[in-house]
Amino acid sequence: MQGKEYLMIPGPTPVPPSVMNAMSRPMFGHRSEEFAAMHKDIIGKLQKVFQTTNDLFVLTNSGTGSMETAVANIVSPGDKVLTLVGGKFGERWSELATAYKAEVLQEDFAWGTPVDLKKVEELLNANTDIKVVFATFNETSTGVLNDIEGLGKLIAKTPALFVVDGVSGVGGIEIKTDAWNVDILVTGSQKALMLPPGLGVISVSSKAWDKIENNTSPRYYFNLVKARKSMEKWNTAYTPAVSLFVGLDASLDMMLEEGLDNVYARHKLLRDATRAAIGALGLELMTQDSYASPVITSVYAPEGIGSDDIRKVLKQDFDITFAGGQAKLKNKIFRIAHMGFADKMDVLLAISGLEMALAKVGHKVELGKGVKAAQEVFLGRQK
Ligand SMILES: *Cc1c(COP(=O)(O)O)cnc(C)c1O
Question: How many whole angstroms from 62 Cα to the centroid of ligand 1?
Answer: 8
1 assigned to some structural domain = no
143 lines ligand 1 (CB under 6 A): no
State the pairing for strand pair 144-145/138-139.
Answer: antiparallel
Q: Is residue 6 part of a domain?
A: no
| 10 found inside a domain | no
Tell me the pLDDT tens digit for each residue of 83-141.
999 999 999 999 999 999 999 999 999 999 999 999 999 999 999 999 999 999 999 99
Domain check: are 280 and 334 in the same one? yes
Mutate to test the pocket of ligand 1, among 92, 168, 184 (most ligand atoms within 8 A of CB): 168
On whether both 230 and 317 belong to a single domain, the answer is: no
pTM here?
0.97
Does residue 3 fall inside a structural domain?
no
Q: What CATH number is given to the structural domain containing 155?
A: 3.40.640.10
Q: Is the Cβ atom of 340 under 6 angstroms away from ligand 1?
A: no
Is the domain of 366 the same as that of 276?
A: yes
Query: Do residues 279 and 319 share a domain?
Result: yes
292 shares its domain with 328 = yes
Are 31 and 178 part of one and the same domain? Answer: yes
Are the C-beta atoms of 149 and 135 separated by less than 8 Å?
A: no
Domain count, the chain: 2
User: Which one of 213, 233, 257 terminates a domain?
Assistant: 257
State whether 148 and 293 are in the same domain.
no
Same domain, 308 and 330: yes
Same domain, 62 and 196: yes
Residue 342 lies in domain: 259-378
Same domain, 269 and 238: no
How many Å lie between the centroid of ligand 1 and the Cα of residue 164?
A: 12
Which of 238, 257, 276 corresponds to the end of one domain?
257
Do 234 and 285 have their domain in common? no
Residues 169 and 242 in one domain: yes
End residue of a domain, out of 227, 257, 287: 257
The one-digit pLDDT tens for each residue of the chain (383 residues) are: 778 899 999 999 999 999 999 999 999 999 999 999 999 999 999 999 999 999 999 999 999 999 999 999 999 999 999 999 999 999 999 999 999 999 999 999 999 999 999 999 999 999 999 999 999 999 999 999 999 999 999 999 999 999 999 999 999 999 999 999 999 999 999 999 999 999 999 999 999 999 999 999 999 999 999 999 999 999 999 999 999 999 999 999 999 999 999 999 999 999 999 999 999 999 999 999 999 999 999 999 999 999 999 999 999 999 999 999 999 999 999 999 999 999 999 999 999 999 999 999 999 999 999 999 999 999 998 76
> Can you give the CATH number for the domain in which 275 is found?
3.90.1150.10
